[in-house]
Amino acid sequence: MRLENKVAIITGGSSGIGRETCLLFAKEGANVVIVDINDEGGQETLQMIESDGGQAIYINADQSQADQCEMMIQKTEEKYGRVDILFNNAGISHANDDDAINTAEDVWDLTFEVNVKGVFLCCKYGIPALRRAGGGSIINTASFVAHLGAATPQLAYTASKGAVLSMTRELATIHARENIRVNALCPGPLRTELLMKYLDTPEKKNRRLVHIPMGRFGEAEEIAKAALYLASDDSSFVTGSSFMVDGGITAAYVTPE
């Protein structure tokens, strides 16, 4: 097993990429710490892991709050004695996110509070724990839009993921000699509840699919497998990277319809 005896904190573990990563990491031998503010979904993920014979705990924590990030790390070390992997996956995409003219200031502020400040705070309290463990892997969820920009306006989200990408590169540089690797995982469009609620007609889906060379949406479990690579020793010489898992969308030039 690729993560045997490792301790992995995964934020946003109640659904989507977070849940699939929790399940996969547990199967690969990790002690998983599921973090979310959705207690129902978090407990469901916990039950799924335990029913499959895995080891996990659930912690309710809001990553945009410093005291809760600190608590998350403390509870993990109290339970398992160490932190080896920190997957800063939780994030939001606000329904009212739009262009610069139409995005309200409170939508902008909330998006950055969760998506950027949240990653910063997880690293602020998580990096000392990784140091105490002798090193480890940090994975920050960014997005393909951090490289391309989004055809459908979502300025706050796109800008926030660009900030995550920049933060990842600097943290990777700062901590490389401490055996702490920091990488950004950049998914393309996924067949998740979050995206499908926006692409709620065949026409909207096809407009997005025309940009993806593979001709389909990605699956959350495919992103989880990429996270496994970045979390494991298989990626021991990988840090500061933008790990694209996007069906080829950033490699192609396609004229929008």
b/e code 216-255 from CB counts within 10 Å (16+ = b): ebbebebbbebbbbbbbeebeeebebbbbbbbebbeeeee
Query: What pLDDT, in 10s, does the model give residues 161-186?
Result: 999 999 999 999 999 999 999 999 99
Residue 254 has what pLDDT?
A: 59
Is 145 a domain residue?
Answer: yes
Residue 111 has what pLDDT?
A: 98
Is 12 a domain residue?
Answer: yes
Give yes or no: 157 in active site.
yes
At 2 the three-state DSSP class reads coil
For 137, the domain range is 7-192+220-240
Q: How deeply is 130 buried, as exposed, middle or buried, from its count of CB atoms within 10 A (0-12, 13-18, 19+)? A: buried
C-alpha distances (whole Å) from 214 to each of 40, 142, 145, 249, 252 are 35, 21, 17, 8, 11
Is 101 a domain residue?
Answer: yes
Residue 199 has what pLDDT?
A: 75
Is 64 a domain residue?
Answer: yes
Residue 226 has what pLDDT?
A: 98
Is 212 a domain residue?
Answer: no
Is 20 a domain residue?
Answer: yes
Q: Which two tokens stand for residue 161?
A: 């993921």
- For residue 48, is pLDDT > 80? yes
Q: How many whole angstroms separate alpha carbon 236 and alpha carbon 219?
A: 25
Residue of 80, 157, 198, 253 marked active site: 157
Q: How many whole angstroms separate alpha carbon 74 and alpha carbon 9?
A: 12
Q: How many whole angstroms separate alpha carbon 135 and alpha carbon 113?
A: 27
| Total domains in the fold of the chain | 1
Which contiguous run of DSSP H or E holds residue 139?
strand 136-141
Query: What pLDDT, in 10s, does the model give residues 1-38?
Result: 999 999 999 999 999 999 999 999 999 999 999 999 99
At 53 the three-state DSSP class reads coil
Is 158 a domain residue?
Answer: yes
CATH number of the domain encompassing residue 45: 3.40.50.720
Residue 196 has what pLDDT?
A: 75
Question: CB neighbours of 195 closer than 8 A, spacing ≥ 6?
Answer: 189, 217
Query: What pLDDT, in 10s, does the model give residues 60-77?
Result: 999 999 999 999 999 999
Is 204 a domain residue?
Answer: no
- For residue 233, is pLDDT > 80? yes
- Reported as a pLDDT band with limits 50, 70 and 90, residue 198 is low
Short-list 142, 208, 214, 204, CA closest to 171: 142
- For residue 256, is pLDDT > 60? no
Short-list 120, 119, 138, CA closest to 130: 138
Query: What pLDDT, in 10s, does the model give residues 90-119?
Result: 999 998 999 999 999 999 999 999 999 999
11 vs 195, more confident: 11
